[in-house]
Structure 1
Amino acid sequence: MTNLDKAIAIATRAHAGQTDKGGNPYILHALRVMMQFEHHNEMIVAVLHDVVEDTGLTAADLEKYGFSEDIIATIDCLSRQRGESYDSFLARIAQDDLARRVKIADIKDNLNLTRLDQLTNRDMARAKKYHKALKVLAE
C-alpha cells in the first residue's frame, strides 16, 4: 500500500459519518481537493487537509502512520488552532507554499454552491469570506 493509498483510507475512516453543508459525505470534498494535484505528497496533504482540525486524529497519529515530517507540518499548518483568528490562520498558511495551494483548492471547492439545495444568508456570508481569503492567499 502506498502512502497515498494509506492517506485516502485514513481520511475515509476519519471522516466517516461526517457530511458537508449539502448533506453529502464529507470525504467527497477531501477527494475533490486531492484531485486538483498531481504529485503524491501534494495529494496526501490535500486528502488529509481537514483530519487534524475536524476529526479525532492528531499530528502524532499521522506520524505513527509513517507520514513524513514535511507532510505532517503542512497538514498542521492547514489546521486552525484554538483561539486563532481567521486572518491569522490565513497569514500562517500563506507562509507555506503547499499549504497555500491546498487551501486555495479547498476554498474553491467550498465555493461550489451548486452542491447546496438552497442558499441561505449564512451560505452567502461564507462565500464572501472565502472570496476575501482567496485574495489574501493569491498575494
Structure 2
Amino acid sequence: MSTIQNALDIANNAHRDQKLKNGQPYILHPLHVMNQVSSIEAKIVAILHDVVEDTETELVDLEAAGFAPEIMRAVDLLTRRDGDDYKEYVKALAKDPLAREVKLADLRHNMDVTRLPEVTDLDLQRLRKYHWCVNYLG
C-alpha cells in the first residue's frame, strides 16, 4: 500500500510546472488541503485530488503505484472530466465520505479570495458555484 510520501512524490512531480493564480507553486494547494483533513487516507486523497484532473497522470498510474481501492475511488470521484455536469459530479462524490471530506477542504481553500491577486467576475461566478457545493455537501 502506498504512503503519504508516495503521494507527495507523485503530486510534486505531476504539478512541478504548474503555478497558482498568485504565482506560487501549485503543490501548495494540495498541501493546504491535506492539512485540513483528518485521516491518513484523506491526507493521501487530498494530496492527489487534482493529479488526474489537471496533469498527464492517469488513475492507472496511481493504481500501479499501489494506492488502496478506497483512495482510488475517492480520487476518481474527485476528478471532474470534460463534459461532466457540475451538480451531477458533486452529487456523485457526496456519496463517498472520503471524497466528500477532501472536496469540502478543497472548496474552503478555493473560496479564499485573499489568495488571488484580484477578484474578477469569473472568480465571483466560481464562488457562487462553490457556495452551492459547500451547502450541498454540508
**TM-score normalized by structure 2?**
0.94
Aligned-residue sequence identity (percent) comes to 43
1:99-110 equivalence runs, <5 A: 99-110=99-110
Supply the distance in 2 between the matched residues of 1:122 and 1:80 (Cα, whole angstroms): 19
Structure 2: gaps spanning 5 or more residues = none
1:91-102 equivalence runs, <5 A: 91-102=91-102
Match of 1:52 in 2: 52
Is residue 42 of structure 1 aligned with residue 58 of structure 2? no
Deviation by residue 1:51-70 (Cα, 9 ceiling, x = unmatched): 11111111110011111111
Match of 1:119 in 2: 119
Supply the distance in 2 between the matched residues of 1:82 and 1:33 (Cα, whole angstroms): 23
Note the aligned Cα RMSD (angstroms): 1.1
Report which structure shows greater RCO (CA 8 Å, sep ≥6): 2
Deviation by residue 1:72-128 (Cα, 9 ceiling, x = unmatched): 111001001332100110010111111011001000000111111111111111111
Instruction: Determine if contact 2:50/2:79 at 8 Å carries over to the other structure.
Output: yes
How far apart are residue 39 of structure 1 and its match? 2.0
Supply the distance in 1 between the matched residues of 2:133 and 2:37 (Cα, whole angstroms): 20
Match of 1:28 in 2: 28
- List structure 1 segments (4+ residues) > 2 angstroms apart after TM superposition: none
Match of 1:17 in 2: 17
**TM-score normalized by structure 1?**
0.94
Supply the distance in 1 between the matched residues of 2:39 and 2:103 (Cα, whole angstroms): 16
**1:130 partner amino acid:** Y
Supply the distance in 2 between the matched residues of 1:104 and 1:29 (Cα, whole angstroms): 13
Structure 1: gaps spanning 5 or more residues = none
Supply the distance in 2 between the matched residues of 1:66 and 1:45 (Cα, whole angstroms): 13
Supply the distance in 2 between the matched residues of 1:125 and 1:18 (Cα, whole angstroms): 23
